[in-house]
Structure 1
C-alpha cells in the first residue's frame, strides 16, 4: 500500500470523516506523502538547495492510478518550488486515494452529512489494514521493530501536521505529546536511510521543511488579523 493511502487511513475517523486535528492541514500531509511515493519510485527529483525545486525524472507510468494521476498533474508544474506545490490544491490526491481504497475494499461509500449536505463520507469497510498499520507503528515507536521508510514518513508527516499524538494516542502507550515528538525525532535521526538509499532521507528532510513553511505561510494572515484586532 502507498504511503499516502496509509496516511489517509490514519486520518479518517470511524464515521468516514477526516479527524478534526488535521481537517485544516490534511492537504499538506497528503501531498507530501504522494510526492514521497513518487520520489521513492524515481519519478521526481528535488534539487539540493534551501528551497528545493521539483523536477520530473521519468514520465513512465507506475501502474498505480494514484501515482500516475499525480505525476500527470505534476508535469506542467515541473520547475516549481516544493513549498508552493505542497499547498497547491490541484495536487490534492484525496479523490484518487479514496477511489483506490474503495476499489481495494478498505473503504465504503457512506452517506452525506446532515440533511444530505456536505461530501460523501467514506468509512472503513475492512478495518484489518488499519489495525495492521497501527500495530506496526506502535512496534516502531516502542523500539520493537526497525522503522521502514514508510513508517518514518508517516510519523514525520503526522508530527509536522501537529497531529501525531492525537492520531496515535493509543499507539504511543501513554507517552505525552512532547515525548512522542522526541521519539519521532530520535527515530528519524537513527534511521536516515531506512529505504536503503539516500533518496528517502533527502526527500523527507525537504518535505518536512516545505510542510512547515507552507503551513506557516497559510497561518500568517490569521495570526496578523488576530494581532491587529
Structure 2
C-alpha cells in the first residue's frame, strides 16, 4: 500500500469523514505523501536546498493509477517549489486514492450529507489494514520496531500538519503533544531506516509544510 493511502486511512474517521484536526489541511499532507511515493519509486527528485524543488526524472508509467495520475499532473509543474506544489488542488490525489481503497475493500462509498449536500462519505469497510498500520506506528513510537521509510514519512507529515497527537493519541502511549513531537523529531532525524532519497524527501516535506502552515497558524492565533 502506498504512503498516501496509509495517510488517508489515518486521516479518515470510521464514518467516512475527515478528522477535524486535518479537515482544512488534508490537501497539504496527501499531496506531500504522494510526492514521497513518487520519489521512492524513482519518478521525481526533491532538492535539498532551503526551498526544495521537485523535478521529474522519469515519466515511465508505474502501473499504479495513483502514482501515474499524479505524475501526469506534475509534468507541466516540473521545477516548481515543493512549498507551492503541496497547496495545489490540481495535484490532490483524493479521488484516485479513495477509488484504490474502495477497490481493495478498505472503504465503501456511502451517502452524502444532509439533503444530498457535500461530498460522498467513504466509511471504513475493513478496519484490519488501519489496525495493522496503527499497531506498526505504535511499535515505532515505543521503540520496539525500527521505522520504515513509510513510517518516517507518515510521522513527519502528521507532525508538520500539527495533527500527530490528535491522530495518534492512542498509539503514542499517553505522552504529551510536546513529547510526541520530540519523539518524532528524534526518529526522523536519527533513524537509519530510510535511504538518502527518503531522508531528503522527509526533510523537504518538513520545510515545505512548515512554510505553508505558518500563515495558517498565525491567522488562527490573531483571530
Coarse TM-score class (shorter-chain normalised): over 0.9
Pairwise CA distance, 1:175: 0.9
Question: Residue 54 in 1 paired to residue 54 in 2?
Answer: yes
Superposed CA RMSD in Å reads 1.4
Question: Residue 215 in 1 paired to residue 213 in 2?
Answer: yes
Q: Contact 2:111/2:121 (CA < 8 Å) preserved in 1?
A: yes
Question: Residue 92 in 1 paired to residue 87 in 2?
Answer: no
Structure-2 separation of matches of 1:20 and 1:47: 32
3-state SS, counterpart of residue 22 of structure 2: coil
Q: Contact 1:83/1:214 (CA < 8 Å) preserved in 2?
A: yes
Pairwise CA distance, 1:189: 2.0
2:117 aligns with 117
Q: Contact 2:50/2:207 (CA < 8 Å) preserved in 1?
A: no
Q: Contact 2:47/2:204 (CA < 8 Å) preserved in 1?
A: no
1:186 aligns with 186
1:200 aligns with 198
Q: Contact 2:27/2:89 (CA < 8 Å) preserved in 1?
A: yes
- Cα-to-partner distance string for 1:182-209 (whole Å, 9 max, x where unaligned): 1111111221x423x2110011101110
1:173 aligns with 173
Structure-1 separation of matches of 2:48 and 2:190: 22
2:74 aligns with 74
- Given the two structures, how large is their TM-score scaled by the length of structure 1? 0.94
3-state SS, counterpart of residue 45 of structure 1: strand
Pairwise CA distance, 1:224: 9.4
Structure-2 separation of matches of 1:108 and 1:200: 32
Q: Contact 1:194/1:200 (CA < 8 Å) preserved in 2?
A: no
3-state SS, counterpart of residue 55 of structure 1: strand
Q: 1:51 to 1:166 in 2, by over 3 A?
A: same
Question: Residue 104 in 1 paired to residue 126 in 2?
Answer: no
2:163 aligns with 163
- Cα-to-partner distance string for 1:194-228 (whole Å, 9 max, x where unaligned): 23x211001110111001111224555x46974xx
3-state SS, counterpart of residue 144 of structure 1: coil
Q: Which runs of 5+ in 2 are unaligned?
A: none
2:33 aligns with 33
- Cα-to-partner distance string for 1:34-85 (whole Å, 9 max, x where unaligned): 0000001110012332212211000001110000000000001001111100
